[in-house]
């Protein structure tokens, strides 16, 4: 018989690969469960990592839009960050909604303090419903303080336009015209998401690296249930990075995951507007 101590030692991590991949999401709460922290936790869990969270704001929202946003007091955001970073071995951080300049400054300072291995930023400024979530001076703070720290940022086309001052692209050529302006923000990489090009039969994202651009193309899926797609994709990238994948492979795996989650979205009947994607599509068919 093994003693309790020997038993506990037998479960001790023997190499880096047996360490639980832990992903922190720093974002707002979505009361309807389809986007924000809730989508992040679902996506991180469904892709095989452990999710922890720091909540930056509470929103009153549903599939039809955001009706109210209550920022969490700064000292409480700071205490949440210190609590998770001083105890958990966080491999990757995903950042979503940050409501104002003060919270962006704070989060940037904490990322510099704790130096997580990977940082994925979804620069959330515009909800799927079209609601503007971030003011202009906060966008400037985001660009100067936080985005240059990122391994990858994942703007959609309206967000990329807000970051660069360009018009919202209407074509792949328009997306390619933004590449140098996005590189100038100086993150390690940019995933420019083409999901808003609704006349295109494919959904093409551009993975913009320092000296290369990789096109990731999947067939466009005809569904209105796309609430939380950006949150879900960026969280999946963070999850796959935490598991030791390269940036390019993590992004490819995450694109595959979100495509499957969107494809299965119509299996759910949630709300009267833009419903959520189906985060747990893989598990739904095994359990009866």
- Average pLDDT of the chain to the nearest whole number: 86
Q: Give CA–CA dist 288/101, Å, rounded.
A: 48
Please report which confidence band the pLDDT of residue 264 belongs to, taking 50, 70 and 90 as the band edges. Answer: confident
Superfamily classification of domain 21-165+225-267:
Ribokinase (3.40.1190.20)
* Whole-number percent of the chain with pLDDT over 90: 57
Please report which confidence band the pLDDT of residue 7 belongs to, taking 50, 70 and 90 as the band edges. Answer: very low
The tokens describing 114, both together, are: 């704790």
Catalytically active residues are 193, 226, 228-231
Lowest-confidence region among 94-108, 111-125, 254-268, 274-288: 274-288
Q: What is the pTM of this model?
A: 0.88
Most confident of 120-134, 204-218, 234-248: 234-248
Using an 8 Å Cβ cutoff, are 197 and 206 in contact? no
- Distances, alpha carbon 128 to alpha carbons 35, 125, 237, in Å: 10, 10, 20
pLDDT at 8: 44
Q: Residues 31-82: pLDDT tens digits?
A: 988 889 999 999 999 999 999 999 999 999 888 888 888 999 999 999 999 9
Count of beta carbons in the 10 Å neighbourhood of residue 67: 11
Instruction: State whether the Cα torsion 137-68-159-129 is positive or negative.
Output: negative
What is the Cα Rg of the chain in Å?
19
Residues 6 or more apart in contact with residue 230 via CB below 8 angstroms: 35, 122, 124, 128, 154, 156, 193
Please report which confidence band the pLDDT of residue 18 belongs to, taking 50, 70 and 90 as the band edges. Answer: low
- The domains of the chain are located at 21-165+225-267
Q: What does the buried/exposed string (b/e) look like for 27-46 if buried means 16 or more CB atoms within 10 Å of the residue's CB?
A: bbbbbbbbbbbbbbbbbbbb
pLDDT at 127 over 50: yes
Using an 8 Å Cβ cutoff, are 233 and 245 in contact? no
Burial degree of 129 (CB within 10 A; 0-12, 13-18, 19+): middle
Q: Give the long-range contacts of residues 72-76, CB within 8 A, separation 24 or more.
A: 74/102, 74/103, 74/106
φ and ψ of 277, to 5 deg: -75, 170
The tokens describing 148, both together, are: 């240059």
pLDDT at 57: 93
Q: Residues 177-228: pLDDT tens digits?
A: 999 999 999 889 999 998 777 777 788 899 999 999 999 988 888 777 778 8
pLDDT at 161 over 60: yes
pLDDT at 121 over 70: yes
């Amino acid at each position: 018989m093994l003693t309790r101590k020997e038993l506990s030692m037998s479960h001790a991590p023997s190499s880096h690969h047996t360490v639980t991949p832990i992903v922190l999401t720093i974002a707002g709460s979505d009361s309807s469960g389809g986007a924000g922290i809730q989508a992040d936790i679902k996506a991180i869990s469904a892709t095989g990592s452990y999710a922890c969270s720091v909540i930056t704001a509470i929103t009153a929202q549903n599939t039809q839009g955001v009706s109210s946003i209550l920022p969490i007091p700064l000292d409480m955001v700071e205490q949440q960050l210190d609590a998770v970073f001083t105890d958990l071995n966080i491999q990757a951080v995903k950042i979503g909604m940050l409501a104002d300049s003060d919270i962006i400054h704070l989060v940037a300072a904490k990322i510099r303090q704790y130096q997580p291995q990977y940082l994925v930023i979804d620069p959330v400024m515009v909800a799927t419903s079209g609601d503007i979530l971030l003011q202009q001076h906060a966008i400037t703070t985001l660009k100067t303080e936080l985005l240059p720290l990122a391994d990858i940022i994942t703007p959609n086309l309206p967000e990329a336009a807000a970051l660069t001052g360009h018009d919202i692209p209407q074509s792949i050529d328009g997306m390619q015209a933004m590449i140098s302006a996005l590189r100038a923000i100086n993150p390690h990489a940019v995933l420019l998401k083409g999901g808003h090009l609704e006349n295109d039969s494919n959904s093409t994202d551009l993975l913009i690296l320092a000296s290369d651009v990789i096109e990731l193309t999947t067939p466009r899926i005809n569904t209105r249930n796309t609430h939380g797609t950006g949150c879900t994709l960026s969280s999946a990238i963070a999850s796959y990075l935490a598991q030791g994948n390269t940036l390019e492979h993590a992004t490819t795996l995450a694109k595959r995951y979100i495509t499957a989650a969107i494809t299965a979205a119509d299996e759910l009947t949630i709300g009267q507007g833009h419903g959520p994607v189906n985060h747990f599509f893989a598990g739904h068919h095994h359990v009866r």
